[in-house]
Structure 1
Amino acid sequence: MTAEEPQPSQPSNSGGFTGLILILVGIFAGALVGLLYGETMWRAAHGPSKAVEVLEKTLAQKESFSQRAADAAAATDDREAKQRHEKESQRLADQAVKVDARLQEMETIAADTEKERAAGQLYFAETVWMLTEFCGDVFLQILKLLVIPLVITSMITGITSLGDIRKVGRVGVYAITYYFITTTIAVLIGLIMVLVIQPGTQADDTFAYQSESVAEKEQGTPIEKLLEVVRGKPGDPGSGMFPANIFQAATSTNVLALIVFAIVFGSALTTIGEEGMIVIRFFRAANEAVMKMVHMVMAIAPVGIFGLVATNIAKNGGAAGFGEQMQRIGWYVAAVSIGLLLHALVLMLIVWYFGKKNPLKYAMGMSRALLTAVSTASSSATLPITIECVEENNDVSPKAAGFVLPLGATINMDGTALYEAIAVIFIAQSLGIPLGVGELLVIFLTASLAAVGAAGVPEAGLFTMVIVLQAVGLPTEGVGIILAIDWFLDRLRTTVNVFGDSIGAAVVDNLVVSRP
């Protein structure tokens, strides 16, 4: 049977120029507050006390790593290896001295801050922090609230609107082929940028700290980590592409499992006649209702985005903290940023040649989704707005958008793949570990695959990076070098992820859906 054509949503006022301007104002105001008042907000939010805790752990970690290197030097008879381990042990010991000095300085700041708090001098800053954080958290939670119903309804609507089950297969093949090609291009760009700029040779990892959450990811081999994406984690019935419990998968926001279920369920609906049409009409109506909710959410987007931007800058120390982070690994930030920009230009060429769209006009049509991605650092949370912009601003059919975008938000992570390739080689450079052609090839392959397993949530790429580090035998403690600035780069790579998904929808729409 052939499913009925879905009626597209009517463009909303939030899709206009005024909505875009308001979002830009929210970002600018949030950045201004975060940079100018962020340090005071950081102190009001117990930032100095939290910094003391991290510095204490960093000091203990530096001493532990130094001792480990010394033990390795004592355990080997290889003269060259012994000298290398001894040099590393001394380097870490020298860093521990600097960390201890910073710790004492921060303890003084923390003590002074608590005195100010007790005297009521931080009351206004505490109020500003709480209200700003509240605005950002509520907006992000509402977006996440819409993700699961939107994925289910849009995927089923997109599948059933294609009608012929053979066309469903063609859409899937073209979409996955697009994902593979663009991810490959992204990793190649990342490799070229990091090898040309050599950012690791100028990095300062004195205050680098490997957090417990990253250390936990060291367990298991790279193959086991990749297989978990399909099978799931033992003892967790809601994980993996084929979970034992689809409701637990929804509860844990396992979008990949929901997409697989929706594809199979939607395909089955097209084969059971009139009874299937009743269910299809229900999901179409539900999809329209969810999109109406997205339009309503956009009314509060400027306030929510203001809160997200301001709090993220503030909790990292405001302008002073951001400047200090940039000073230590500025060349790394430059390599990632330039690489992401180059890949965005490649995507624009792709949408011009294969999608038959004006790339500048298309990018402008995606502005609100891209700005939301910058603010939320989550391609999944941005998904409702991505679908709205693709369909209403760029005239991509709901058939293509409903299928390609939810799938892309889950497995198409161009920006993450590029970032992981640069970050791993940067870590090797900063640790003075040379990489041969074989190691570069392994990084190329594992960065491409690991990005597929990265969840569409903030800083998910840090965890999948452990897979790439282990694949080439690099120490995972090197992740600590980039943790301080990752919150900023996470927003940039998420924006490229979202843009790549949107381009994929236009390409598939032009090559498959729009053709008989």
Structure 2
Amino acid sequence: MTNHVEVPMADGPHISLEALPKPCLDKYCGWLMRNLLLTLTIVGVILGSLFGSLLRLLPPLDSDLIMLISFPGDILMRMLKMLILPLVISSLISGLAGLDAKSSGRMGTRAMVYYMSTTVVAAILGVILVLSIHPGNPKLKKSPTVTTRNEEVSSLDAFLDLIRNLFPENLVQACFQQIQTVTTKIPVPPVVVRKENVSQIVHASGSVLNTTITEVNVGPSTVTQKQLEFKAGMNVLGLIGFFIAFGICMGKMGEQAKPMADFFNILNEIIMKLVSMIMWYSPFGIASLICGKIAGIKDLEMVARQLGMYMVTVIVGLVIHGAMVLPLIFFVITRQNPFLFYAGIFQAWITALGTASSAGTLPVTFRCLEENLKIDKRVTRFVLPIGATINMDGTALYEAVAAIFIAQMNSIHLDGGQIATVSLTATLASVGAASIPSAGLVTMLLILTAVGLPTQDISLLIAVDWLLDRMRTSINVVGDSFGAGIVHFLSQKELALIDGRGEELEIDPTTLKLQALANHQEGSIGSGYTVLPSQDEEELPEKMDAASQYSEKDEEEPDEEEEEKKKEEE
């Protein structure tokens, strides 16, 4: 309603003037205050990039100074990783305990179909872009590079390690170690095949010369030997597999498992409150991480000159996948505005951009989806931990581009079968990649070995991996969030049915009957009566149609009760 101000005039009528509107500055300041944490995070990213660029203008910084600059960011990463294990455990168990086996199976199937489909699309998009732009240049091989150890990685070993980690032999050990097949080369000594003594008479002197003839089979100098070793790092896949089974079994136990479910619900709420406290420190930590990374680059101009087109190819692919493909899939399925969804998860996206860890961003993603977008906690707690482990759209695109880029750099022509192998292997390798920083470089060995490309050229990509790792991690988090939104939309009927069953089991106070006790005393209102559920209520049917029948019976019951009261008074 428009406010008016009446100004009295000395010799004339009153004149009505409209009040001046509020300044736009107040409106924007109000938005900034309501979204203070998001505003501070964006400011931290900008200031970190600015100060990092300014530090590059100074003489080369000492490694200790760079470490001190990055130290606050290191503390942030440690705090976020500290919460991963209790958050994954509590979220999975509390989410699955509120679902029945059928509903959780359907939600899991939908999530897996979405995750695998988007990962395949991302890998194919990366292949199309790298073949179209052709960033690889053989002249890059002439530049001096840092050599790395040429590790041999077998596709079969990587697949078997994935299955082994899914079933950990020690649950406590899985919290800080995971198993891996390690290939070592053992030197083999030469083998003596034949050895005999020969006597020879020297004619000049008549003496006898004894000699020994030895026949040696040289053979291979080394033998490859495989063995299983434990490497440092949380076995997230094994923990998720165990606690999914734990939550499903606990959900089948019903009321008997309610104390355990309440415990994990409370634990999840405590972890989320800790996340809220840590997030107020995140702007400073993210600024520190970005500033330290930019200041620590050795030769930025040479890196940009060598790998500029490679970076452009990866970034363009990530932007297309994150800004076009994923929103289009979300809109086609849900018919909702995907950019409003983006606004709700912007805090998680900017955090992933700063920390380069989808698992470390998991607490923030929970908070954005549940508080900003109001997605059911049973969906987020079940879908997000799985997505943070196996949904790596950005990693699949990055690895497909990097593999073909290395082939182009070595002037190696890949046929259709090899390109298809790159796409398939990039998809599978991204699923097995741990949700930790720079895991894509580790799984890159698997793709290069599968196609027969030189693995030592990975050293070229390390110089720009700090930036691309943040970009692809942010797309991974966006894909996880869109997946949770799609699964929530498709699972609304199952969730409503579960909520409806819970309401049916509650006792309706309008259907309670008053039954007289033998020792009741007159003179007090309601004395001598106890409230008991009617016989019809004890046999409540599971179908919702029976509610109307109970309402009709309840309308007839008051007449019978009045007659009983009259008889007792007489």
TM-score normalised according to structure 2 size: 0.69
Unmatched segments (≥5 aa) in structure 2: 1-30, 178-233, 498-570
* Alignment partner of 2:427 out of 448, 463, 480: 448
RMSD value, Cα: 1.8
1:157-192 per-residue CA deviation (whole Å, 9 max, x = no partner) reads 111122x21111111111100011101110110011
* Paired positions, count: 407
User: 5 Å matches for 1:7-26?
Assistant: 16-26=34-44
Which of 238, 242, 248 is the equivalent residue of 2:167?
A: 242
- The Cα of 1:208 is off from its aligned counterpart by 2.8
Q: Which residue of 1 is the match for residue 86 of structure 2?
A: 149
Residue from 300, 303, 319 that aligns with 1:322? 300
Q: Within the alignment, does 1:33 sit opposite 2:51 as a pair?
A: yes
Q: Partner amino acid for 1:171?
A: M
Change (3 A) 1:227 1:40: farther
- Looking at structure 1, the residues matched to 34 and 390 of structure 2 have their Cα atoms a distance apart, in angstroms, of 30
Counterpart check, 1:226 vs 2:159:
yes
Q: Where does residue 464 of structure 2 map in the other structure?
A: 485
Structure 1 CA distance, aligned partners of 2:393 and 2:441?
Answer: 15
Tell me if structure 2 keeps the 8 A contact 1:151–1:259: yes
Distance 1:151 1:471, change over 3 A: same
Give the aligned residue type for 1:245: N
Q: Is the 8 A contact 1:409 1:501 kept in 2?
A: yes
Does 2:127 match 1:191? yes
User: Given the alignment, which residue of 274, 278, 293 partners 1:312?
Assistant: 293
Structure 1 spans left out of the alignment, 5+ residues: 1-12, 47-125, 232-239
Matches within 5 A, 1:3-152: 16-38=34-56, 40=58, 43-45=61-63, 126=65, 129-152=66-89
Q: Which residue of 2 aligns with 1:8?
A: none
Question: Following TM superposition, where does structure 1 have runs of at least 4 consecutive aligned residues deviating by more than 6 angstroms?
Answer: none
Shift of 1:495: 0.6
Give the deviation of 1:39 after TM superposition.
Answer: 5.9
Matched, 1:337 2:315: yes
* Letter matched to residue 50 of structure 2: L
> How many angstroms apart in 2 are the aligned matches of 1:426 and 1:131?
35
Q: Does the CA-based 8 Å contact 1:373-1:379 persist in structure 2?
A: yes
Rate the CA distance shift 1:462–1:371 in 2: closer, same or farther, 3 A.
same
Query: For residue 62 of structure 2, what is the amino acid of its counterpart?
Result: A
Match of 2:371 in 1: 392
Q: Are residues 1:403 and 2:340 paired?
A: no
Report the CA distance shift for 1:180/1:462 in structure 2 as closer, same or farther (over 3 A): same
- Whether 1:465 and 2:449 are equivalent positions in the alignment is no
* Cα pair 1:14 1:299 within 8 Å, conserved: no
Return the alpha-carbon distance in structure 1 between the equivalents of residues 240 and 336 of structure 2. Answer: 27
Separation of aligned partners in 1, 2:459 and 2:57:
23
**Which range is displaced more, 348-357 or 434-443?**
348-357
Distance in 2 (alpha carbons) for counterparts of 1:40 and 1:256: 45
* 2:431 counterpart of 1:494: no
Cα distance in 2, alignment partners of residues 493 and 450 from structure 1: 15
Please state whether the residue corresponding to 2:491 is helix, strand or coil: helix
Structure number, greater radius of gyration: 2
- TM norm structure 1: 0.76
Name whichever structure is richer in strand by fraction.
2
User: Which of the pair has the greater relative contact order for Cα pairs under 8 Å at 6+ separation?
Assistant: 1
Q: Deviation of residue 476 (structure 1)?
A: 0.6
For the pair 1:354 / 2:333, whether they are aligned, the reply is yes
Residues 368/209 of structure 1: CA separation in 2 closer, same or farther (3 Å cut): same
Greater share of helix = 1
Post-superposition offset of 1:257 = 1.0
> Residue 479 and residue 150 in structure 1: after superposition, are their counterparts in 2 closer, same or farther (change >3 A)?
same
